[in-house]
Amino acid sequence: MNMQRRDFLRCAGAAAVGGASAAATAIGGLGAAMMTYSSVSRSDTRRYELGIQFFTFNALATQGWDKFSEAMGIARGLGYEAIQFAGLMGHSPALVRKRAAELGLALRTMHIGNDQVRAFRAPGGSISEAQDAVYTPTGIVQLTRVNVPLARDLGCEWAVVAASGPTNMQSLDNVRRMCDALNAANEIARKAGIGLSYHGHGPDYRSLQGQNVFEFMLAHTEPTIRFELDVAWVAAGGADPVALIDKHAARIVSFHLKDWTQAGKAATVGDGQIDFAGIYRAAARIDKPIFNVECEGGPGVDLTREARRSLEHLRPLGWTLTA
């Protein structure tokens, strides 16, 4: 999830699921190294399953189980092979897992903390205010206790702490306390039989009191904790995603794929300056990397269309999917 979610998501579209047509109206400055799209060798036979972050369909999925289930079908109909949920919105893991199996969707990772952020968001309040309340050091440990059993029962391999909150990024002392909380949360996840990961945002890749925050977190978290790189937020923090993968592949497990423009805006894959082919190649250093597209937008943006456009851009760069 991004650090300050847009308060509006719209998406409309139609999907074909399981060979049957089912029309569904759905929810409505970087360096030069990141500006050059690279080619992928035709001899590269790697195949990465491509999923989608379910927040893309949030406006539809929040309308109850039938719409939640419908949004899952739309994702599969577009060609995505996996879903990363941003919380389960009160639905049982067994019900969601059954629907995913019917559609042939893998469930490898789940963002945790999103349901709590929704509950803590005041009427008219911002997402960042709610995140600041939820992702305190104590909150991180508690939301892990609450959500790891859900992720486990869903069949996920990783529970991903979805954000930090502005206060955690105000000083290195605060970052260190957050790292201590992640270490405690990691033990909870370990005992449940799944891994723990952390999803960073722009401030995670910047300098704070003379130190790079991401490097600081790597040094102060257990080596079994992995990181999810949202490549747009890496770029927003002034870092090069490819260089980051090359340097820290052993600590990275998953990705959010969206673009970042020269104007400093998140964008659909292919509409910005991020080197996705370079990311594909660098990911060979990672053991079983997990990729999820994420689409965002404002009023009138058809996010089903943007999710389809993302697929169209990624396929020729090396990502391949089943029909």
Question: What residue ranges define each of the domains in the chain, with the CATH number in brackets?
Answer: 47-317 (3.20.20.150)
**pLDDT tens-digit map of 18-69:** 333 333 333 333 343 333 334 444 445 678 899 999 999 998 999 999 999 9
Least confident of 7-16, 99-108, 179-188, 293-302: 7-16
pLDDT band at 300 (very low <50, low <70, confident <90, very high): confident
CA-CA distance, 83 to 63, in Å (whole number)? Answer: 18
Taking alpha carbons only, the member of 283, 289, 274 closest to residue 226 is 289
Q: Which pTM value belongs to this model? A: 0.86
Mean pLDDT of the chain, nearest integer: 88
Tokens coding 117: 């952020």
Taking alpha carbons only, the member of 41, 17, 39, 14 closest to residue 26 is 14
Residue 45: what pLDDT?
A: 60
* Residue 95 CA: distances (Å) to CA of 69, 255, 279: 10, 26, 35
Residue 319: what pLDDT?
A: 86
Residue 155: what pLDDT?
A: 98
C-alpha dihedral (282, 284, 290, 293), degrees to nearest 10: 40
Q: State mean pLDDT over 295-307.
A: 87
Q: Specify the 3-state DSSP secondary structure of 198.
A: strand
**pLDDT tens-digit map of 71-86:** 999 999 999 999 999 9
**pLDDT tens-digit map of 201-258:** 999 999 999 999 999 999 999 999 999 999 999 999 999 999 999 999 999 999 999 9
How many CB atoms lie under 10 A from the CB of residue 310? 27
Q: State mean pLDDT over 88-103.
A: 98
Residue 318: what pLDDT?
A: 83
Q: State mean pLDDT over 90-106.
A: 98
DSSP state of 121: P
Asked whether 188 and 144 are in contact (CB, 8 A), the reply is yes
pLDDT band at 297 (very low <50, low <70, confident <90, very high): confident
